[in-house]
Amino acid sequence: MVQLTPNSSFSLTIRVKLPNQTGMLAQVLQAIGNAGGSLGHIDLLERTHTALTREITVNASSTEHAGTIVEALKAVPQITLLDVSDRTFDCHRGGKITVQSKLPLHSQDDLSMAYTPGVGRICTTIAQDKDQVYRYTIKSNTVAVVTDGSAVLGLGNIGPEAALPVMEGKALLFQEFGKINAFPVCLATQEVDEIVETVKRMAPVFGGVNLEDISAPRCFEVEERLRRELDIPVFHDDQHGTAIVVLAALINALKLVDKTFAEIAIVINGAGAAGVAIAKLLQKAGVRTIRLCDRNGIISRDRTDLNETKQSFAVEQSGTLADALKGADVFLGVSAPGVLTPEMVKTMAPDRIVFAMANPIPEIQPELIQGDVAVIATGRSDYPNQINNVLAFPGIFRGALNCRAAAITTTMHLQAAYAISALVGSDELHRDHIIPSVFDERVATAVASAVEQAARQEGISHC
């Protein structure tokens, strides 16, 4: 069984009352430590001559592990457990985003300009020239985050209501990292025609559409049709956001091992939306040898179970993931926990690179191969080299909205990846630092600038 490191996504806030005696806090902390919990903040809330009330933050590795920690505390003599709350559930309570007015309404004059009768003049202006909607409404800086709930994180087809917390989170990231207004749109349909038609009918409100967590292969058709039928940017982040950040990280990882795209062999495990998009973008970047694998092994020409998308990546070689990895320079995992073994890694070429990006449990735990690879990256924030889409999509849309690009193109994807990779200078580049932090304030600006420049070069900028 794969053991997870305690992390904040399973963190608890625990309030305990304990006697005001030497050594009592030590007993509490020892109980948490013995149960495998990782301590965070310890605050003193109240003190009397006889008792102390403390609030303790503890990271666990799972819901079950959190329960074990709580039971361990209950067993400590003279300790009263006052309250236990799940910090992740606490931060989601009531939702994570809100709509806030930009204008004060302090007088009748304010109201008459912001709403009726003054607003009628704005409506007339837009009716006479629809382009004015970008100047006088939220459209110029608003993105729809659209899902059908069919492929949410690693949870699968859990439906639109259960997908809403993720889409809220996406909207939060758009605002925090790109200063873009975004709103979650979770659709109660998984029919391609209905998704496309619904988004088209909503399009007058939005300056762009970010598709999210729609399962393959339907996501390819949804994106293709919306790109063709709308005059605003459409971007499927699970595909292109992932591909952009992977390319950016791989550019820098290859610098460390002195290899080029033209000479390496890459194995991609996972032939869904992300895996296919990564393969396509890497080909555009100059990679010649890619072996794409799914749960049935190598996508090979002798297989009869391939859809049209997979057929385009079929190779002569057949076999398992283990067969594909022999002599390969790079493993890119967008698949499932534990599918990669140390033995498989050791069959790869020297100076091997492993991106194990399944989340929250990667294809292989980094600790198992730390000494056997030149570079390892994951999708997790508690390991170095986190491959995180937030490095791409806020800047992508910021740039597209700034220049009113009619679409988001492959050239923009490439230029965004180059911009991200360039933020890690040669003096900073090492095996544990091949990609900027998501909190690096330069990222969104650099990506936006690259996207705007590409849009103008391609002639699809409207300003």
Measured CA to CA, the distance from residue 105 to residue 73 in angstroms comes to 52
**Catalytic one among 139, 170, 280, 310?**
170
Go through the chain and tell me how many residues it has.
463
Choose among 339, 356, 332: nearest CA to 295: 339
Measured CA to CA, the distance from residue 457 to residue 206 in angstroms comes to 24
DSSP assignment string, 94-162: T-S-----SS---SHHHHHHHSTTTHHHHHHHHHH-GGGHHHHSGGGGEEEEEE-SSSBTTTBS-HHHH
**Catalytic one among 74, 115, 179, 346?**
115
Choose among 220, 240, 225: nearest CA to 308: 220
What are the backbone dihedrals phi and psi of residue 200, each rounded to the nearest 5 degrees, phi first? -60, -40
Tokens of 259: 């290899």
The single residue listed with the structure tokens 């991200």 is: 420
Tokens of 463: 């300003």
Within 221-276, strands assigned E span 234-236, 265-269
Output the CA angle 370-296-283, nearest 5 degrees: 65
Measured CA to CA, the distance from residue 54 to residue 29 in angstroms comes to 12
Output the CA angle 385-386-389, nearest 5 degrees: 135
Asked if 394 and 171 count as a contact pair (C-beta separation under 8 A), the reply is no
Angle between helical axes of 192-202 and 218-229 (0-180°, round to 10):
30
Residue 170 known to be catalytic:
yes
Q: Is 295 helix (H, G, I), strand (E, B) or coil?
A: coil
Residue 200 known to be catalytic:
no
Distances 109 to 75, 103, 106, 117, 123 between C-alpha atoms, Å: 65, 12, 8, 10, 19
Choose among 342, 343, 349: nearest CA to 374: 349
- Helix-strand-coil percent breakdown of the chain, rounded to 5? 45, 20, 40
- Active-site residues, by number, are 115, 170
